[in-house]
Amino acid sequence: MLVCGNLPLAQEVRRAFGAKKWGCRSQKCRGGGLDYAPTMTFNSRPPILTLAEIGWTGGLLVAGGEPSPAGGALGRTVWSGTVEDEDFAPSLRNWSPGARALLHRACDAWGQDRWVRDQWSAAGAMPERLIRPHHRHILSDHHFAKRFMAERDARGDVGLGFIADPAALLTRAMLALAPEHLARAVEDALATPGLAGVLMTNLVAPTAQVGLEVGEQADGAGQNEHEADDVRLDHGLALVACPLGTAGGVLDERAIASAVATAWRVGVAVIVLSEAERQGARALLEAAVAAPSTAQGLT
């Protein structure tokens, strides 16, 4: 079986599930990325973690076009952020080289944050800093994320990790082909340096206001909502992450599990929004692993 060659992640699995057989003969793995080594075995599945367990605060690394202030309030796991004043406003400027350069500056400053280093670097289970994408932020799709994380890797930023969030990359115009988009996002995440885990969520219209993730915003209030002409520029109110099992979720959860299981079966940790979802997420993933070809459309 091909399993992640990330030693810290291997340690996390061993602690969480008591795995006794875990070996990595890869000479490339530095703990900050993925290296697939066929000479690895384990006797249990990877961990299913919650956002709280990885230090999520809902903060943005870049906010209003400036790096966020350093300090504990930023937390360990953050959105990549935006050059716009509104946290989740649609923006063409987030795709510019200038925005990516700004995110590099923010990561450089974040790497010098003594609070983050003191709180998390000794834990050893995952990189000390984790960044999360969103289709309205600077890391707006898997291509931007892969390129940016490769640049950080080339700069020697081994303390920075990447949380894949397949559902967060979907605009309304992408929903008709959601299973294909989710699968592609996970496949590309597996080739992204520093991958530390894959988030498993559904999406809900913000007007529902039911079980919305802490830190999410129903942005664009007062705007006239309309369909996006460009698949990547989603106008109006953005769909927001919601826990698995939420009424009104627009994605079939079997399709979500089918995509995420691609990473889970090779040793990548899965992350859910809340403790209450852990058992249900495991059942969905186990079913997807047993029938990997299962992929359903929208409900």
Q: Please report which helix (H) or strand (E) contains residue 164, including its range.
A: strand 160-164
pLDDT at 208 over 60: no
Residue 101 lies in a domain: yes
Q: What is the mean pLDDT of residues 253-268?
A: 96
User: Of 96, 69, 72, which Cα lies nearest the Cα of 84?
Assistant: 96
**Partners of residue 251 on adjacent β-strands:** none
Residue 202 lies in a domain: yes
Which pLDDT belongs to residue 239? 87
Q: What is the distance between the alpha carbons of residues 272 and 281, in angstroms, rounded to a whole number?
A: 8
Which pLDDT belongs to residue 257? 97
DSSP string, 30-60: -SSS--EESS---SSPPPEEETGGGTEEEEE
Burial-class residue 287 by CB neighbours within 10 Å (0-12, 13-18, 19+): middle
Q: CB of 75 within 8 A of CB of 59?
A: yes
pLDDT at 213 over 70: no
How does residue 116 score in pLDDT terms, banded at 50, 70 and 90? low
Q: What is the distance between the alpha carbons of residues 161 and 142, in angstroms, rounded to a whole number?
A: 14
Residue 118 sits in a domain of what CATH number? 3.20.20
Residue 92 lies in a domain: yes
Residue 163 lies in a domain: yes
Q: How many domains does the chain have?
A: 1
Of residues 14 and 112, more confidently modeled = 112
Residue 25 lies in a domain: no
Q: How far is CA 234 from the centre of its chain?
A: 19
Which pLDDT belongs to residue 42? 41
pLDDT at 215 over 70: no
pLDDT at 183 over 60: yes
Q: What is the distance between the alpha carbons of residues 103 and 95, in angstroms, rounded to a whole number?
A: 11
Q: What is the distance between the alpha carbons of residues 297 and 59, in angstroms, rounded to a whole number?
A: 32
Q: Within 10 Å of residue 272's Cβ, how many Cβ atoms?
A: 22
Among the residue ranges 61-70, 86-95, 100-109, 180-189, the one predicted with the least confidence is: 61-70
How does residue 180 score in pLDDT terms, banded at 50, 70 and 90? very high
DSSP string, 61-123: EEETTEEPPPSGGG-SEEEEE-SSSSTT---SGGGSHHHHHHHHHHHHHHHT-HHHHHHHTTT
Which pLDDT belongs to residue 37? 31
Residue 158 lies in a domain: yes
Which pLDDT belongs to residue 214? 36
Q: Within 10 Å of residue 290's Cβ, how many Cβ atoms?
A: 9
How does residue 165 score in pLDDT terms, banded at 50, 70 and 90? very high
Residue 108 lies in a domain: yes
Domain that holds residue 133: 48-290
Among the residue ranges 23-32, 102-111, 180-189, 192-201, the one predicted with the least confidence is: 23-32
Q: CB of 36 within 8 A of CB of 17?
A: no
Which pLDDT belongs to residue 14? 39
Those residues whose C-beta lies under 8 Å from the C-beta of residue 204, and which sit 6 or more positions away, are 210, 211, 212, 239, 240, 242, 246, 248, 249, 250
β-pairing, 3-4 with 36-37?
antiparallel
Residue 22 lies in a domain: no
**Partners of residue 202 on adjacent β-strands:** 242
Task: Give percent of the chain with pLDDT exceeding 90.
Answer: 48
**What pTM, to 2 d.p., does this model score?**
0.75
Rg (alpha carbons) of the chain, rounded to whole number: 18
pLDDT at 196 over 80: yes
Instruction: Give whichever of 61-65, 146-150, 203-207, 232-236 has the largest mean pLDDT.
Output: 146-150
Which pLDDT belongs to residue 128? 82
